[in-house]
Amino acid sequence: MSPIEVKQFLRAAKKIGERWYLAFRLYMNAMLRARELTRLTERDIARHADGILAVDGVEVRLDCDTLQEIERWRGARTGRLFPGYYTVRKAFRKAIKLGNVYEYTMHALRHTGIMIRAREVRTPADLEDLRKMARFRRTCFLRPYLGAEESKLIERVKFVK
């Protein structure tokens, strides 16, 4: 997704509800798969509000905007945050339609998150960390992301240091 499309999509998700805005920010920034998103609970998110979210044993650093949304969303309930895959998919389709961003899937949102992270890779250790965060088996699967040109999106995303 281009930076403009991501912005339109996130605005539309916010119109649908704060919960879905947080869901899609987490989906993109934590490079989650749809099933991983539906398994998250509020307790999981509250436990890792220091900037790191643990998903399937892999720690993923979140950006500042997502952390602010998590701080606003924190609750005492321990139930699942996002009810089920089909509910998430329905909200995604609604946000796509509302934001006038077509021909994208939830998978494209995950790949946008991977591409943002790939722009920060400087050393082989960074590459290995990205492979673990994206949950790829080998680093060769990251080649398309490392050579991709995604202009202004990375400039808008700030990570906690």
CB atoms within 10 A of CB 123: 8
Element (H, E) at 43: helix 42-47
* Arithmetic mean of pLDDT, 29-34: 79
The answer on pLDDT for 98 being more than 80 is: yes
Residue 112 lies in a domain: yes
Write down the pTM of the prediction.
Answer: 0.68
Residue 161 lies in a domain: no
> Range with the lowest mean pLDDT among 64-68, 77-81, 107-111, 129-133?
77-81
Residue 159, φ and ψ in degrees, nearest 5:
-105, 150
Query: Residue 61's beta-bridge partner residues?
Result: 52
Q: Which domain holds residue 149?
A: 3-156
125-142 pLDDT, tens digit per residue, is 888 888 888 888 888 888
Structurally, how many domains does the chain consist of? 1
How many Å apart are CA 155 and CA 158, to the nearest integer?
A: 8
Residue 43 lies in a domain: yes
Closest to 28 (Cα-Cα) out of 65, 56, 77:
65
Whole-number pLDDT of residue 42: 65
Amino acid in the structure at residue 49: A
Whole-number pLDDT of residue 140: 82
Residue 145 lies in a domain: yes
